[in-house]
Structure 1
Amino acid sequence: MVSNNNGISRRSLLIGGLGLAATTTLLAACGPSETSAKKPVEDKGTEAEGSLVVWGGVDPAMGPQALIDAFMKKHPKIKVEYVRFVNNEEGILKLDTALQGGVPIDVFFSYGTVDIARRSAAGLAMDLTDLAKKDDQLKMFVEKEPISTRVDGKLYSIPTSMYPNYVALNADALEKAKIDVPFDWTIDDYHDVAQKLKKSGFEVGAYNAPKPFPATLGGDYLYKDGGKESNFDHRSYREELDLVLAMEDDDSIFTQERLLAEGIGGYAQNYFLNGTFGMMIDGNNVIRYAKNLAEYPHDFRVTFRPYPAPAGGKPYFNPGVRGDDVQISSKTQYAAAAWTFVKFWMGEGADHMTTAGKISPDQFANPSDQMYENLFGPDADKLFDVDAFNKTFFTEEPPMSVRAITTAYTEISTMKSKMESEVRLRTKSVKDAIAELKQSADEAIAKAS
């Protein structure tokens, strides 16, 4: 069974953003210390019996419904209803509000560290640490070296998808303009290619600029001294801000004014596939859109390159993460059945989600013919440079980011986003933005510690 949560106007999105800020503040007020004393909810089901409501951001037709059908066929005494929410500000607000209120939710997905940290710290998610330790497939998430987000050292979420960042490019445009893009390229090379694409006829060369800050420092780039202080005075952050301004100035990327005016952020794939720009930093979401010719008609092949290095010949990090984290509600009355569902999603159900561009950790380690067929669709060779994808995606180098420190993470991320927008709108200088952000983030860390 599927419920949908669609239909968002631009006006409602703006209102939703204000509501999200209020919800974030409310959730932040309820920390782990306030929730730890709560009595566990009595389990009304078993590992093989229960009734689950699952909230996720993926269209049910892109994999979730097929996965759920397969799950219920294997576990006929566990009923599952899937509720789709749109993973934008309004959808995030709806899920947060539902989790806080009396809406029955047993399993939900959080897309990004900000949402994971906020919901976990507010006591809205179950601690999965002990359960994962006992599971051969999932114990890797609780081993000594973290490979996914933890909150206060505990595992509240399990990433269902490998999501390294990479660059998707218009292969036909590159060939026509005789632009060579090596696999071992740098951020300077990326900027150069963006300028060449602009000169070849695109409105702007690229959608977005690379980020030397996380690429240089890894998942905990926001912090230093083990999370006791923010890291905004690191040289790579200034380099990042200077780069995005330079790329705006030479029309390599959109200006912030245009991004905001057109609401491009949630619809960048439209602009890539209609030929407005020639490349974008993304992940497997771009494949999902590019193979859908009915909604995104285009006549070019997509090729792929790794995330560009801050400097040639030096080690760096891929800012992508293991993502699409699944969480179990702390209010669920069917915890055992929910855990059965989570394990199925991570294991034999994973192939169903590849249609939506989701590749599980197991699939990453052992890709199958079925995975490729689901991922690229029937027109794979016509639409994609699959060889370039393999070289780009299935690699351990550079390593993906791991975010192990989450002290005041939600607040700091909100401050950072706001300040960066002001810099791009030219209402704040880079120097002043860094100084203000450093001070505000340090204060937030001190308050949360």
Structure 2
Amino acid sequence: MKKKMLSTIFASTILLGGLVGCTGGGESTSGTNDETEKTDEAVTIKFHTHGNEASYNWQETIAAFEDEYPKIDVDLVILSEKGDTQEAIQKLDLAAASGEQLDVLMFSDPASYAQRVALGMVAPIDEFIEKDGYTLTDEYKVDTKIDDNYYALPGKFNPWYVLLNKSHLDAAGLEVPTDWTWDEYMEYAKALKTDDHYGTYFHGPQGGGWMEFMKLALASEEDNTEFVKADGTSNIESPLFRKTLEMRVQMEKTDQSAVPYTDIISQKLHYRNQFFGQDASMVLIGSWMNTELGGTDQFPLEFDVAVAPYPKNEEGAEGGYTPVTTDFMSVAANSEQKEAAYTFIRWYTSEGQIVQGKNIPSWNGVSEDDLGSIIDGILAGTVSPEKVDKESLVNVLKSAKSSKIIPPVAYQSELYKVINDEYEKLILGKQDIDATITATQKRVQEIIDSNQ
């Protein structure tokens, strides 16, 4: 199945011959004796990234690293000046195929990361982590393990959360939730619904995209949060997939507290307009919205905003689990400077995140004062930062954590389309939940079988 995945994804994009020698002919992919002997000499490492200067403050960040490690120079290669992750990954693949020097690689999503690990482009870093004496899951909020190895350290930390129109909550006599379940979320949505606005808005699924909204309850768990499990079997018959369908139907059809799916599709609605236009009181979305919480010139803020954590499934459950986006910072498998490359990614994903000051770090070592300063800096870039309940934002970002990574399958887009199709039949009243699960499971299993 792995061979099929590689051939499907990389058929003509990457020439495997360009990656021959990545693993050093069977030698350890971590630092060699020759490399160790060179550590006292000045070295230059190439850092390939999708991030542009405006979004990542590279000039100041890299200068700070080089001040602390004067024998390591970082040669920054920005793969897309507009921050286009698709363009960046294509250019990175071409650089690998042509044998260019690669040392530090940044991936923007689990799929890009897992696929390049499977190809052999990325070196395991377990030996360096062990040498540094920390446990990755204690040190960082994002678990980057694939199979039995670590191939990356996580940079920024963008968990999903619930945006709240606090003015609507106040009018309804509701407190800002600090720990809640999906049942309570539905109660809030129902209580917030008025003639002027809906209680909540879900931005997906749409055309096989925004599938996070098809696994609401699944994503509240530590493991098995995808439609296909880590062992390659279907997860459609999970009670939590059923629960997600039940919640979507109840909120839209029974309670009429959620914006109708037909409106979302026919009117091409967007979560920004729905929230800032006060058409929905609660919007579940990723914390990339931190930079817009206080409003922007395009979407001015005319009400108070608060943030609530991603709901959990049951009262008393651990909670805090949520979909998370991060930057996966990796060492290239064919790098001749693996120790220096690791030194850079370790620094960058810890104190370097504070220097950069652009994002919330995945690193657990950040102090509450530093976190507050970073958030102050982010909110200061908005039009009305004083309208944001900073305390609720800090609490959510402190407690959120990611689920275990399940490497994406090569046929993921096919699965998404099938699940989207069957959901539409459900929400448009053409079939009930039992029929939806039966049909979805049958079609998903056919796709899995055809890709064995």
What range is the shorter-chain TM-score in?
Answer: 0.7 to 0.9
Q: Which residue is 1:4 aligned to?
A: none
Q: Which residue is 2:332 aligned to?
A: 329
Q: Which residue is 2:217 aligned to?
A: 212
Deviations 1:295-335 (CA, angstroms, capped at 9, x unpaired): 54323332011211223344456123483221122244543
111, 123, 129: which one aligns with 1:132? 129
Q: Which residue is 2:208 aligned to?
A: none
Cα distance 1:329–1:439, how it changes in 2: closer, same or farther (>3 A)?
Answer: same
Q: Which residue is 1:6 aligned to?
A: none
Check whether the contact 2:202–2:259 (CA below 8 A) recurs between aligned residues.
yes
Q: Which residue is 1:173 aligned to?
A: 168
Cα distance 1:416–1:245, how it changes in 2: closer, same or farther (>3 A)?
Answer: farther
Q: Which residue is 1:284 aligned to?
A: 287
Provide the secondary structure at the position in 2 that maps to 1:355. Answer: coil
Deviation at 1:83, TM superposition (A): 1.2
Q: Which residue is 1:410 aligned to?
A: 409
CA RMSD in angstroms comes to 4.3
Q: Gaps (5+ residues) in structure 2?
A: 1-5, 204-212
Provide the secondary structure at the position in 2 that maps to 1:382. Answer: helix
245, 253, 261: which one aligns with 1:255? 261
Distance (whole Å) between structure 1 residues aligned to residue 116 and residue 372 of structure 2: 37
Q: Which residue is 1:388 aligned to?
A: 392
Counterpart residue identity of residue 234, structure 1: S
Q: Gaps (5+ residues) in structure 1?
A: 1-19
Distance (whole Å) between structure 1 residues aligned to residue 226 and residue 39 of structure 2: 42
Distance (whole Å) between structure 2 residues aligned to residue 50 and residue 117 of structure 1: 26
Distance (whole Å) between structure 2 residues aligned to residue 181 and residue 27 of structure 1: 48
Distance (whole Å) between structure 2 residues aligned to residue 341 and residue 256 of structure 1: 49
Deviations 1:25-59 (CA, angstroms, capped at 9, x unpaired): 668997x9996574779979857420423313465
Deviations 1:143-200 (CA, angstroms, capped at 9, x unpaired): 9x99612223111111123444321212223224544453333213323433454535
Provide the secondary structure at the position in 2 that maps to 1:78. Answer: strand
Provide the secondary structure at the position in 2 that maps to 1:165. Answer: strand
Deviation at 1:220, TM superposition (A): 2.9
Q: Which residue is 1:342 aligned to?
A: 345
Q: Which residue is 1:190 aligned to?
A: 185
Check whether the contact 2:311–2:319 (CA below 8 A) recurs between aligned residues.
no
Deviation at 1:105, TM superposition (A): 4.5
Distance (whole Å) between structure 2 residues aligned to residue 165 and residue 326 of structure 1: 21
Deviation at 1:231, TM superposition (A): 2.7
Counterpart residue identity of residue 131, structure 2: K
Deviation at 1:98, TM superposition (A): 4.6
Cα distance 1:181–1:371, how it changes in 2: closer, same or farther (>3 A)?
Answer: closer
Cα distance 1:225–1:188, how it changes in 2: closer, same or farther (>3 A)?
Answer: closer
Check whether the contact 2:153–2:329 (CA below 8 A) recurs between aligned residues.
yes
Aligned residues: 413
* Structure 1 stretch displaced more, 332-341 or 43-52: 43-52
**Does residue 431 of the first structure (1) align with residue 438 of the second (2)?**
yes
Deviation at 1:120, TM superposition (A): 0.6
Cα distance 1:420–1:343, how it changes in 2: closer, same or farther (>3 A)?
Answer: same
Distance (whole Å) between structure 2 residues aligned to residue 235 and residue 400 of structure 1: 21
Distance (whole Å) between structure 2 residues aligned to residue 98 and residue 257 of structure 1: 44
Distance (whole Å) between structure 2 residues aligned to residue 271 and residue 104 of structure 1: 46
Q: Which residue is 2:60 aligned to?
A: 66
Cα distance 1:84–1:241, how it changes in 2: closer, same or farther (>3 A)?
Answer: farther
Counterpart residue identity of residue 201, structure 2: A
Aligned sequence identity (%): 18
Distance (whole Å) between structure 2 residues aligned to residue 229 and residue 241 of structure 1: 20
Distance (whole Å) between structure 1 residues aligned to residue 322 and residue 20 of structure 2: 31
**Does residue 80 of the first structure (1) align with residue 75 of the second (2)?**
yes
Q: Which residue is 2:243 aligned to?
A: 239
Counterpart residue identity of residue 124, structure 2: D
**Does residue 153 of the first structure (1) align with residue 148 of the second (2)?**
yes
TM-score (normalizing by structure 2): 0.74
Check whether the contact 2:219–2:225 (CA below 8 A) recurs between aligned residues.
yes
Q: Which residue is 1:112 aligned to?
A: 109
Check whether the contact 1:67–1:349 (CA below 8 A) recurs between aligned residues.
yes
Provide the secondary structure at the position in 1 that maps to 2:321. Answer: coil
Check whether the contact 1:28–1:122 (CA below 8 A) recurs between aligned residues.
no
Q: Which residue is 1:50 aligned to?
A: 44
Cα distance 1:54–1:147, how it changes in 2: closer, same or farther (>3 A)?
Answer: closer
